[in-house]
Amino acid sequence: MNKITNNKAWFLVLPVFFIVAISAIIPLMTVVNYSVQDIFDPQTRFFVGTEWFEQVLGDRRLHDALIRQIVYTMSVLLIEVPLGIAVALTLPRKGWGVSASMVLLALPLLIPWNVVGTIWQIFGRADIGLGGYVINMLGIDYNYSQNPMDAWVTVLVMDVWHWTSLIVLLCYAGLRSIPDAYYQAAKIDGASNWAVFRFIQLPKMQSVLVIGVLLRFMDSFMIYTEPFVLTGGGPGTATTFLSQFLVTIAVGQFDLGPAAAFSLIYFLIILLVCWVFYTVVMNAGKREEQ
C-alpha cells in the first residue's frame, strides 16, 4: 500500500511516544548514570568511570551465566520449534476440534509465570508430585532441588510445556492460509507427505516461524520468573540465567553500579539481536511483496 507522507502523523504517535519514553528512556538514562558511579546513598556518590564495566566484563559468574543462558536458549529453540511445527501439523483443519484444541493449547500461555513455576514445582517433587513420583518409580533417581542436571532438565521441560503452544498457534495460522486446492493438486501429482510439507506447508509457515523464533529467543533470553519460583537459580548456580543473576545483584545485594553496567551490556546484546532479526524479517516481507 502506498502511504502518504504527512509529518502531522507525529501528533497521533505522540501519546505512545511519551508513555513509552517515560517508561523506557528515563529509566535507561538512569541506568547509564548509575553505571559510571559508586553510589552509597543519593548524597554520597563518586564518579568511577568505566570501572564497573571492566569489573562486570571480567566477572566469571557473568560469563558462566551468559554461557548457560545461550545453551538454554538454543535448547529451547531446538526443541520447541520442531515440536511446535509437528503439533501444528496434527491439528484438525475444521470441525469442533479446532476450537477445542485452540483453547486447550492456549491455556498454558495464560497462566501467570510464577504459577507455571509453582505447577512444576509441585508436579516435579518426588513426594507430592505426580511427575517426580512416576520418574522415581521407574527407578531413576530424580530430584530437581538437589541434582543440577535434573533441575536444568526440569526448567527446560517446563519451558517447552509453557511456550511450545505459541509456536503451534503461529504455525497453525500460517497453515490455515493454504488453500485446499494446493493439497488436491499435490494429491493428484502423487506428492509424498514430505514433499507436501517441504514445498507447500513450510514456505507458508516461514514468515510466522521467523516471528515465532524471534519471540521465543527474546523471551527465553530474559526468562526470570519460572526458574526463580522452581529452583531459585539453584542448586548452586545450575539454573541461574542472566535475568536471575541481574536481579540478584540489583535487588539482592543492591550493588547499583555493577547492576547498571550489567544491564547495559545485557541491553546491548538484546538490541543487536533484535535489530538483526527485525532487518531480516522486514527484508523478507519486502521480497514477498514484490
Site for another protein in 45-104 (CB under 8 A): 45, 47, 50, 53-54, 57-58, 86-87, 89-92, 94-97, 99, 101-104
Are 192 and 155 contacting, i.e. CB atoms less than 8 angstroms apart? no
Of positions 74, 115, 149, 185, contacts another protein by CB under 8 A: 115
Give, as ranges, the residues between 226 and 255 that touch another protein (CB under 8 A): 229, 242-243, 246-247, 250-251
The residue (of 75 and 277) whose beta carbon lies closer to another protein is 277
Q: Both ends of the chain: CA-CA distance in Å?
A: 12
Of positions 71, 78, 271, 284, contacts another protein by CB under 8 A: 271
Of positions 71, 82, 187, 275, contacts another protein by CB under 8 A: 275
Give, as ranges, the residues between 159 and 218 that touch another protein (CB under 8 A): 161, 165-166, 169-170, 172-174, 176-177, 207-208, 211, 215, 218
The residue (of 58 and 139) whose beta carbon lies closer to another protein is 58
Cell 517508561 sits on residue: 23
The residue (of 16 and 138) whose beta carbon lies closer to another protein is 16
Of positions 61, 70, 105, 154, contacts another protein by CB under 8 A: 105
Cell 519514553 sits on residue: 21
Minimum Å gap between C-beta 10 and another protein is 6
Reduced to 3 states (helix: H, G, I; strand: E, B; else coil), residue 39 is: strand
Cell 514433499 sits on residue: 195
The residue (of 191 and 247) whose beta carbon lies closer to another protein is 247
Distances (CA, A) of 69 to 12, 73, 157: 39, 6, 15
Contact map string, positions 7 to 46, toward another protein, x by CB under 8 A: xxxx-xx-xxx-xx-xxx-xxxxxxxxx-xx-x--x--x-
Question: How far does Cα 201 stand from its chain's mean position?
Answer: 25
Residue 12 φ/ψ region, left for φ over 0, alpha for ψ in the -120 to 50 degree band, beta for the rest: alpha
Minimum Å gap between C-beta 192 and another protein is 15
Are 177 and 204 contacting, i.e. CB atoms less than 8 angstroms apart? yes
> Length of the chain, please?
290
Of positions 66, 70, 81, 118, contacts another protein by CB under 8 A: 118
Reduced to 3 states (helix: H, G, I; strand: E, B; else coil), residue 238 is: coil
Reduced to 3 states (helix: H, G, I; strand: E, B; else coil), residue 46 is: strand
Give yes or no for residue 130 binding another protein (CB under 8 A).
yes
Task: Please calculate the CA angle 122-127-130 and round it to the nearest 5 degrees.
Answer: 55
Which of these ranges, 71-79, 148-156, 183-191, 258-266, lies near another protein under the rule CB under 8 A? 258-266
Which of these ranges, 70-78, 146-154, 178-186, 272-280, lies near another protein under the rule CB under 8 A? 272-280
Which backbone phi and psi does 135 adopt, to 5 degrees?
-60, -40
Sign of CA dihedral 197, 203, 205, 209: positive
Minimum Å gap between C-beta 124 and another protein is 9
Q: Which three cell numbers stand for residue 8?
A: 502531522
- Give how many residues touch another protein by CB under 8 A: 118
**What type of residue is 14?**
L
